[in-house]
């Protein structure tokens, strides 16, 4: 049992969305006292209540001051040792809470690097990593100069949202100027133009690298390739697909090398990261898109565990429990291939029983979602299954809804 001053560790986990059950269970398995703080809308989710010492729901619109006050209230009767953000939108809040009690972990300034697409792009570029040309939507002259220098199309991206939320593709300077004008009329000051960035749109294939980091070094990383760019799936619909990259390939080696340089440049000392890159159709180079200081969503951790035997959530939990005193690397127990197909479904509880291949190891159980995870010793078999399922899902399940402009 991990102990501090002859007592179990007291760990507070934040989760705006339903994430991180494995992290919670691993902490409890090591004897920790675990409290989960979530939003009221998530209270009825299938949290691992048997592994929780307390489950607290705050109002859906709760901001950092309320979380900090809650932390102080909880700390009256027990010394808090860790505050962990299980979800992207909690990363900065958790950092502010840690700073309030001088707890170990990512600072608020460090956390903002992982939440701000402009900041992360600047850091990556300074480290010598290729980044699509970009400009913040602040100075009119600078934006006009950018559009003269960098031919369209471009993408307008909110600096702090995740995935494809709020991203729009534009082709003409006048579209950009109209967008800036519209943003600057918004009542919510944090939705005005200075909170957005304009970047060159690069056609290509998108990849993600998911890592466990300790002492600023990558202990484990898995490389996957998306079937279609997430922005395309979000805006045009269809099935989301991700699969293991060919082991030992030039692409895998290149991405792992860039990822190490990126993690070092952004200064994460301990935790999990999810980084995305695009390989340009024009020049074949890998360009950095974004990175998050948390485990990737959309069942990415399940796919990595299927292929490697490494559970990102549990490995991260062990690092936190051990206070970073851990082995210098994490060795996969297997080196196979895995992939996922996932889509919004027309049916409330879609029936995937017609998909009966022996390589299916998991079925997504979530309202209005259809999803399958497959594993095989060979990548070509995984590709064959996912390509086949991609065609069948369109007929059997796929529902399309407009991409949200902001998180719900």
Q: Which residues contact 48 (CB under 8 A, 6 or more apart)?
A: 21, 24, 25, 28
Are residues 103 and 218 located together in one domain of the fold? no
The number of distinct structural domains making up the chain is: 3
Q: Is residue 294 part of a domain?
A: yes
Contacts of 231 (CB under 8 A, 6+ apart): 155, 164, 167, 169
Based on the fold, state whether residues 347 and 301 are members of the same structural domain: yes
Q: Is residue 3 part of a domain?
A: no
Q: Which domain holds residue 143?
A: 133-200
Q: pLDDT tens, 185-225?
A: 999 999 999 999 999 999 999 999 999 999 999 999 999 99
Q: Are residues 221 and 140 in the same domain?
A: no
- Please report, for the domain that includes residue 75, its CATH number: 3.40.50.20
In a domain, 5, yes or no: no
- Residue 192 shares a structural domain with residue 210: no
Among residues 62, 83, 113, which one ends one of the domains?
A: 113
Does a structural domain hold residue 403? Answer: no
Tokens of 131: 């980044």
* Average pLDDT score over residue span 238-254: 95
Q: Is residue 251 part of a domain?
A: yes
Same domain (yes/no): 307, 179: no
pLDDT at 326: 76
Q: What is the pLDDT of residue 401?
A: 64
Q: Work out the pLDDT band at 399, boundaries 50, 70, 90.
A: confident
Given 50, 83, 113, which residue is the final one in a domain? 113
Q: What is the CATH number of the domain that holds 286?
A: 3.30.470.20
179 and 285 share a domain?
no
Q: What confidence tier does 2 reach under pLDDT thresholds 50, 70, 90?
A: low
Please check whether residues 253 and 140 belong to one and the same domain.
Answer: no
pLDDT band at 238 (very low <50, low <70, confident <90, very high): confident
**pLDDT-derived band at 133, boundaries 50, 70, 90:** very high
Same domain for 193 and 243, yes or no, is: no
Q: What's the rounded Cα separation, in Å, for the pair 310 and 332?
A: 6
The model's pTM: 0.92
Give the range among 39-43, 248-252, 398-402 with minimum mean pLDDT: 398-402
Residues 190 and 168 in one domain: yes
Chain Cα centroid distance, residue 30: 26
Coil, helix or strand at residue 362: strand
Does residue 127 belong to any structural domain of this protein?
no
Residue 404 lies in a domain: no
284 and 354, same domain (yes or no): yes
Residue 221 three-state SS:
strand
The closest alpha carbon to 303, from 233, 218, 361, belongs to: 361
Coil/strand/helix, residue 292: strand
Residues 221-242 as b or e (16 or more Cβ within 10 Å = b): bbbbbbbebbbbbbeebbbbbb
Residue 11 pLDDT more than 80? yes
**Does any domain span residue 276?**
yes
CATH number, position 188: 3.30.1490.20
Residue 280 pLDDT grade (very low, low, confident, very high; cuts 50, 70, 90): very high
Our CA angle for 309, 261, 321, nearest 5°, is 45
Beta-ladder partners of 85:
14
* Domain final residue pick, 113, 142, 162: 113
In this structure, are strands 154-158 and 33-39 parallel, antiparallel, or unpaired? unpaired
Judgement on whether residues 77 and 159 belong to the same structural domain of the protein: no
- Residue 408, SS3? coil
Residue 408 has pLDDT above 60, yes or no: no
Judge if 196 and 223 occupy the same domain. no
């Amino acid at each position: 049992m991990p102990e501090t001053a002859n007592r179990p560790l007291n760990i507070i986990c934040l989760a705006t969305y339903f994430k991180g059950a494995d992290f919670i269970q691993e902490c409890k398995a090591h004897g920790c006292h675990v409290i989960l703080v979530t939003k009221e809308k998530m209270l009825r989710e299938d949290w691992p209540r048997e592994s929780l010492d307390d489950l607290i729901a705050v109002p859906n619109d709760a901001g950092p001051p309320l979380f900090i006050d809650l932390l102080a209230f909880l700390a009256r009767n027990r010394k808090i040792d860790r505050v962990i953000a299980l979800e992207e939108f909690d990363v900065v809040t958790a950092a502010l809470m840690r700073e309030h009690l001088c707890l170990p972990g990512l600072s608020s300034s460090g956390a903002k690097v992982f939440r701000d697409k402009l900041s992360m792009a600047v850091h990556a570029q300074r480290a010598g990593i290729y980044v699509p040309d970009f400009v913040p939507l602040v100075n009119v002259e600078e934006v006009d100069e950018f559009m003269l220098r960098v031919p369209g199309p471009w993408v307008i991206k909110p600096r702090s949202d995740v995935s494809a939320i709020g991203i729009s593709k534009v082709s003409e300077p006048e579209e950009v100027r109209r967008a800036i004008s519209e943003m600057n009329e918004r009542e919510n000051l944090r939705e005005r133009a200075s909170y957005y960035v304009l970047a060159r749109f690069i056609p290509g294939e998108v990849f993600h690298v998911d890592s466990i980091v300790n002492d600023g070094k990558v202990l484990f990383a898995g490389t996957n390739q998306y079937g279609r760019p997430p922005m395309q799936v979000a805006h045009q619909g269809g099935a989301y697909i991700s699969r293991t990259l060919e082991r030992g390939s030039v692409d895998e080696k290149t991405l792992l090398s860039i990822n190490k340089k990126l993690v070092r440049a952004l200064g994460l000392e301990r935790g999990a990261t999810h980084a995305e890159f695009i390989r340009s159709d024009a020049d074949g180079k890998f360009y950095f898109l974004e990175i998050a200081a948390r485990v990737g969503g959309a069942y990415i951790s399940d796919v990595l565990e299927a292929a490697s035997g490494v559970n990102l959530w549990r490995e991260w939990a062990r690092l936190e429990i051990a206070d970073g005193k851990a082995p210098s690397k994490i060795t996969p127990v297997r080196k196979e291939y895995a992939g996922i197909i996932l889509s919004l479904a027309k049916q409330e509880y879609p029936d995937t029983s017609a998909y009966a291949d022996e390589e299916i190891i998991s079925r997504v159980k979530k309202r209005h979602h259809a999803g399958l995870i497959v594993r095989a010793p060979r990548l070509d078999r995984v590709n064959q299954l996912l390509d086949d399922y991609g065609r069948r899902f369109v007929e059997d399940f796929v529902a399309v809804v407009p991409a949200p402009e902001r998180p719900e």
